Amino acid sequence: MSGSSRPRLVMKFGGTSVATVERIRIVAKHVKREIEAGYDVAVVVSAMSGKTNELVAWCNEAAGLYDQREYDTVVASGEQVTSGLLAMVLSGIGIKARSWQGWQVPIETNEAHGSARISGIPSTNLDEGFSRGEVAVIAGFQGVEPKSGRIATLGRGGSDTSAVAVAAAIGAERCDIYTDVDGVYTTDPRIVPKARRMDRIAFEEMLEMASLGAKVLQVRSVELAMVHKVKTYVRSSFDDPANPNPGTLICDEEDIVEQQVVTGIAYSKDEAQITLRHVPDKPGVAAAVFVPLAEANINVDMIVQNISEDGKSTDMTFTVPQAEFQRARDVIDKARAVVGCDIVEAATDVAKVSVIGIGMRSHAGVAASCFQALASRSINIRAITTSEIKISVLIDAAYTELAVRTLHSLYGLDKA
């Protein structure tokens, strides 16, 4: 770090936190608190709530098939507005601040416009800003593709990723991600009122929670935090700026003293199930099904295969995101002649419920008790997938809330 020797902090504020100029004034108070605590601060902001959707709608109205680079130019403007407004408000309360667009930092990306990945962030410009005593107010969700010099956006939720990447680049002590909830909960409090806010959660557990339906953080931001060991807090911008809650710390496994067997229950209703009946039981068939899906960039999750009644063929079941369901059906229909299956069945009224916890590595019987508890509630399991730290079951969507409540109680997550 050059210039200032003060510790550094990145604060990220999402769309609901900056939804109005009045909300932006409250954000400025959160920033002022951390400056007074002795930090050099970089703030990463999202577009004001609803603005990105409005910009995307304009793109769709302007052209059915548009150049993705021009799409990025349009949708990146939402964050540009917020960064300028927050810099104005901070200046108005006596705090030196300047706005930075992604290309000015620069946040360098690859060429995948619309869902670009960050390739590097030189910290020189931000270092100079800190040495001048400025708060850096950075437009999230965007960067620049260096070869063309064009704006590139990082995909939905990309501001979380921007914030963690900036924190890694400037050597920040931590990255605080402010949302409309005050931390990470053991499950969705709207389903289980007794759900508890966790003080700490391991990177791996948060990665599973984020990828399995918990909407608190974007998956890529958690991956980045884990790789670069960036201590990340989830906090609420709706707390009193003078006395906010500490939120939930996402950290290394070693930083968690008391590990519970199960940390949380996640769920997702955005699933669709496809079953291929009477698939010939021979080498290469699975590849004939899943390679075309992969080439179409369709993410396949649960896969179950079992021998059909005749003993000569197999039944193959797998799940895809509901948004990709029709495309997946089209891909499978094209591959049917090669695969040789005679029946394709599909269901979109399904949900995935997942039990997550690093403590499962050293405890037997977690899966057995899960299956037993669901059976006692007459909840049928359509498919199962497991890893070292998670068990996911596919069930009928109508039973989602009951399953989540049952498992939350089963593993003692209701108790303080």
Q: In the chain, what are the domains? A: 8-254 (3.40.1160.10), 265-410 (3.30.2130.10)
DSSP run (H or E) holding 351: strand 343-356
- For residue 13, the cross-strand partners are 45, 178
Query: What pLDDT is stored for residue 255 in this prediction?
Result: 84
DSSP conformation letters of 285-350: HHHHHHHHHHHTT-----EEEEE-TTSSEEEEEEEEEGGGHHHHHHHHHHHHHHH--SEEEEEEEE
- Going residue by residue through the chain, which has 416 residues, state the pLDDT in tens, using 9 for 90 and above: 445 679 999 999 999 999 999 999 999 999 999 999 999 999 999 999 999 999 999 999 998 788 999 999 999 999 999 999 999 999 999 999 999 999 999 999 999 999 899 999 999 999 999 999 999 999 999 999 999 999 999 988 899 999 999 999 999 999 999 998 899 999 999 899 999 999 999 999 999 888 876 677 888 899 999 999 999 999 999 999 999 999 999 999 888 876 788 999 999 988 999 998 888 888 888 898 899 999 988 989 888 888 766 677 888 899 999 888 999 999 998 888 788 887 788 899 999 999 999 989 888 889 999 999 999 999 999 989 888 899 999 999 999 999 999 999 999 998 75
Query: What pLDDT is stored for residue 86 in this prediction?
Result: 98
DSSP-based three-state secondary structure for 226? helix
Tell me the whole-structure pTM to 2 decimals. 0.85
| Sheet containing 248-251, strands listed edge to edge, beginning at the edge strand earlier in sequence | 97-100, 135-139, 40-45, 8-13, 174-179, 232-236, 248-251, 200-202
Query: What pLDDT is stored for residue 58 in this prediction?
Result: 95
Query: What pLDDT is stored for residue 416 in this prediction?
Result: 59
Query: What pLDDT is stored for residue 264 in this prediction?
Result: 94
C-alpha–C-alpha distance, residues 345 and 347, integer Å:
7
Query: What pLDDT is stored for residue 210 in this prediction?
Result: 85
Query: What pLDDT is stored for residue 2 in this prediction?
Result: 47
| Sheet containing 264-280, strands listed edge to edge, beginning at the edge strand earlier in sequence | 303-307, 313-321, 264-280, 343-356, 390-396, 383-387
132 Cβ contact list (under 8 Å, min separation 6): 3, 96
Place of tokens 């902090």: 9
Q: Are 247 and 234 in contact (CB under 8 A)?
A: yes
